[in-house]
Amino acid sequence: MHSQRSSEESVDDDTTSNTSNSSVEEQVQEGESDAESLADVLENLVISQKKSLPKVKDKLDQIIQQILEGEIKNIICMCGAGISVGAGIPDFRSPGTGLYSKLEKYNLTHPEAIFEIDYFRSNPHPFYLLSKELYPGLYTPTKTHYFMKLLHDKGLLLRCYTQNIDSLEHVAGLPKDTVIAAHGNFDTSYCIDCKADHDVAYVKEAIMSQNPCRCVKTKGCEGLVKPGIVFFGESLPERFWSSIPKDFKAADLLIVMGSSLVVQPFASLIDKPREETPRILINREIVGETHPDLRRMGYRRGFDFSNDVDSNDIALLGDCDDMIVDLCSKLGWSSDLQDLMKQA
């Protein structure tokens, strides 16, 4: 049985930039340790980043051309909490603003506890509080959500795999069959003991009043009832697993947006497309890279942003809504995106 787990197996810092590490190292060895030499090193770092930009631009231009000429027509989007930050919903791991840095508010012993079934059984209140804050209906989709609707309208969206539980993909107008809510959402609810499905309205009322509700379906069962959000250790929806092989085989572009890519098995989806399929990461930071030594050992493919020759991976770093505006402008879709948002 496949279940969700948080693997904080972060990428080594030295693999997370497009810069040439050796030239910087040489500078450090050769240079003095005073502030001036540090400034030189930093300046060269910036210059080498700038030098690598045209290559990213070339790859991106090529993808844009392939989309416009109909060569790329099956796009998979993979989304994380970062795409909803612009809507006012905090993500988990952004330092300072993410939910994990506000633990005292939820009175948790450790961040992941909010999604652990044993913790929920002993104290459902933090998850009920989070559920009230995230409950669909309170937020408006972002440009990034509407971009996916635009891809769908243009017949280009093969599937949206989302980790998000806020259902903003649906609010933006994506039909249910185009979205796979890998970590569930508030559309279903069930008893954690007998597993019986419960009326969503019953659980919504409990969430809004912050009074965790109990099983009313099985005689003698007093299990807590929770929305169908996938907790750590719980199985992901069957549709997630059954859709992966066909979808990722057919994909001719993968766009990953607003995720730290640390929650498994979702994060490993980036390895599923065919080897030649281009992958674009749109995020505030580099994520999902595999250390070159591990890649050499065949450990897993991961992203490879440091290889300008063989790799089809591109990182567009910044706020995803800004990146989407740029992308739409390059595609000549700016007014389409604006029209879509006006109609909403």
Ligand X SMILES: NC(=O)c1ccc[n+]([C@@H]2O[C@H](COP(=O)([O-])OP(=O)(O)OC[C@H]3O[C@@H](n4cnc5c(N)ncnc54)[C@H](O)[C@@H]3O)[C@@H](O)[C@H]2O)c1
Determine which residue in the list 143, 170, 183, 279 makes contact with ligand X, applying CB under 6 A.
183
- With CB under 5 to 8 Å by kind, the binding choice for 19 among Zn ion, ligand X, none is none
Stretch that binds ligand X, among 49-57, 258-266, 273-281, 334-342 (CB under 6 A): 258-266
Tokens of 283: 């995020």
Residue 86 carries which DSSP code? G
Q: Considering the complex, what minimum distance in angstroms separates the CB of residue 85 from ligand X?
A: 4
Determine which residue in the list 15, 75, 76, 91 makes contact with ligand X, applying CB under 6 A.
91
Query: Any contact of residue 164 with ligand X (CB under 6 A)?
Result: yes
Q: Which among 1, 43, 53, 3 is positioned nearest to 23, based on CA atoms?
A: 43
Count of other CB atoms within 10 angstroms of residue 287:
24
Q: Considering the complex, what minimum distance in angstroms separates the CB of residue 184 from ligand X?
A: 8
Nearer to Zn ion, 221 or 317 (CB): 221
DSSP H helices, 177-333, are 200-209, 238-250, 292-296, 320-331
- With CB under 5 to 8 Å by kind, the binding choice for 129 among Zn ion, ligand X, none is none
Nearer to ligand X, 41 or 303 (CB): 303
- With CB under 5 to 8 Å by kind, the binding choice for 141 among ligand X, Zn ion, none is none
Q: In angstroms, rounded to a whole number, what is the distance separating the alpha carbons of residues 40 and 104? A: 42
Nearer to ligand X, 92 or 333 (CB): 92
Query: Any contact of residue 285 with ligand X (CB under 6 A)?
Result: yes
Query: Any contact of residue 82 with ligand X (CB under 6 A)?
Result: yes
Query: Any contact of residue 116 with ligand X (CB under 6 A)?
Result: no
Q: In angstroms, rounded to a whole number, what is the distance separating the alpha carbons of residues 313 and 304? A: 6
Catalytic site positions: 183
Q: Which among 79, 71, 62, 228 is positioned nearest to 149, based on CA atoms?
A: 79
Stretch that binds ligand X, among 47-55, 86-94, 212-220, 335-343 (CB under 6 A): 86-94
Residue 255 phi/psi, 5-degree rounding, is -120, 120
Tokens of 223: 């299990």
Q: What is the 3-state secondary structure (H, E, C) of 157-200?
A: EEEEEECCCCCHHHHCCCCHHHEEECCEEEEEEEECCCCCECCH
The residue with tokens 């991961």 is 302
- With CB under 5 to 8 Å by kind, the binding choice for 194 among Zn ion, ligand X, none is Zn ion
What does the binding site for ligand X look like in residue numbers (CB under 6 A)? 80-82, 84-86, 89, 91-94, 98-99, 134, 163-166, 183, 258-260, 262-263, 283-285, 287, 319-320
